[in-house]
Amino acid sequence: MALDTADADAPRLRLDASAAVHPLLSDDGSTAAGETAEQLDARYAPYARRDAYGTMGRGPLPAAQAVRLALAAAVLLPLRFVAGMLVLLLYYLVCRACTLFVDADGGRPRLAGWRRKAVLRSGCALSRAMLFVFGFYWIRETRRRSPNAKDQFEESQRPGAIVSNHVSYVDILYHMSASFPSFVAKESVSRLPLIGLISNCLGCIFVQRESKSSEAKGVSGAVAERIQEVCQDKNTPMMLLFPEGTTTNGDYLLPFKTGAFLAGAPVQPVILKYPYRRFSPAWDSMDGARHVLLLLCQFINHMEVVRLPVYYPSQLEKEDPKLYANNVRKLIAMEVG
């Protein structure tokens, strides 16, 4: 995984070898910003698909692959769709039952006792069931231990957030099955049928990303406040944050945004990888509906997870969130080589 998106040795984004390869280039081979074709390819390399389905998932397929896809679409796709909807409906019913007669704080139900345990345990189990439906039958997990562990009494503070690289929407399902965290979502998600109630039970922070107003500071402040709450209240679920801010093809690690590090609290770094042979689960440059269709039509999907030791920031990192973010990014990049 590369640290910089403009690595000269990195695989380049390849489209058709014609004059229309770079329609935004001028006659001298540069963009309006002065970028050359090579620089443009390097900049978009983190979003290039390199699987059997090609650019945007619409590349030509060999006859055998096309027949296999047609059979999967006729048999496997409907079965998985029905199974996935049943899993989603079951968890919605659990959340509906556990939130009856419960006061909501800004739409977020304050669950405690048996209600919280039921939502948590069933959420983890059903998220894993949904991954199974998607073809992730086995997930290889590796836990790294700190080579120079410090005094456990000194560093016993609970991590406030899970920070992870972002490759696919499947990332969220894995994290829900492993630790059931809260995360940041569009405000419109809270109004979706079934998913709206579930996301409120997760304690999600809802934002209006379409708004052109200065919401960024407010969102960062809300995230920092929630992370501090997590550190103080063991009943508050940890935050799940993707510091890259978008998904990539999994071969690159984009610069980290500082929102996850503003609170100066410890974080749990997690690395997700999706080895593949034909279809890559990475959601990079393909529309969502086509990606879900192809993912469900692949009989077996693979996922590997590396959980690094909790990262406890130094005093200098607490005072400089950008330094904190960069150091965690370097740690993750070193781990994946």
Instruction: Please indicate, yes or no, if residue 52 is contained in any of the structural domains.
Output: no
5: left (phi over 0), alpha (psi -120 to 50) or beta: alpha
CB-based contact 29:23 (threshold 8 Å): no
User: 51 lies in a domain?
Assistant: no
108 located within any domain: yes
**CA distance linking residue 13 with residue 7, whole number of Å:** 12
CA–CA gap between residue 325 and residue 46 (Å, rounded): 20
* Tens-digit pLDDT profile for residues 218-253: 788 888 889 988 888 887 889 999 999 889 888 889
Nearest Cα residue to 57 out of 333, 279, 316: 279
Residue 250 in contact with residue 167, Cβ under 8 Å?
A: yes
pLDDT in tens, the chain (337 residues): 434 333 433 333 233 333 333 333 444 444 445 566 566 566 778 888 888 887 777 888 888 888 999 999 999 999 999 999 999 999 999 999 999 888 776 667 878 889 889 999 999 999 999 999 999 999 999 998 876 555 444 456 789 999 999 999 999 999 999 999 998 888 888 888 989 889 988 888 888 765 545 455 578 888 888 998 888 888 788 999 999 988 988 888 999 999 899 999 999 999 999 999 889 999 887 888 899 999 999 999 999 999 999 999 999 999 999 999 999 999 998 887 6
Residue 7's pLDDT is 40
Measured between alpha carbons, how far is 136 from 129 in angstroms, rounded to an integer? 9
Cα distance between residue 278 and residue 322, in whole Å? 38
The predicted pLDDT at position 165 comes to 94
Domain extent at residue 262: 61-148+156-336
The answer to whether residues 259 and 244 touch, using CB atoms and an 8 Å cutoff, is no
Q: Flag whether 161 is in a domain.
A: yes
**Distance between CA atoms of residues 314 and 149, nearest Å:** 15
Q: What is the per-residue pLDDT for 24?
A: 38
What are the φ/ψ torsions at residue 162 (nearest 5 degrees)? -100, 125
DSSP-derived secondary structure for 212-244 = -SS-HHHHHHHHHHHHHHHHH-TTSPPEEE-TT
Are the CB atoms for 321 and 315 separated by under 8 Å? no
Q: Is residue 233 part of a domain?
A: yes
Q: Is residue 45 part of a domain?
A: no
Q: What percentage of the chain has pLDDT greater than the value 90?
A: 45
| Cβ proximity of 134 and 85 under 8 Å | no
At residue 188, the pLDDT reads 85
| pLDDT of the residue at 209 | 61
DSSP H helical ranges for 99-215: 113-133, 170-178, 195-201
The pLDDT, as a whole number, for residue 294 is: 92
Q: Note the pLDDT of residue 40.
A: 59
> In a 3-state reduction of DSSP, which class is residue 189?
helix
240: nearest Cα among 309, 179, 197? 179
List pLDDT tens digits, range 158-179.
899 999 999 999 999 999 999 9
Q: Say if 3 falls within a structural domain.
A: no
| AA identity, residue 192 | L
Pairing of strands 161-164, 108-109: unpaired
Q: How far apart are the C-alpha atoms of 37 and 21, rounded to whole Å? A: 9
How many distinct structural domains can be found in the chain?
1
Position 137 in a domain: yes
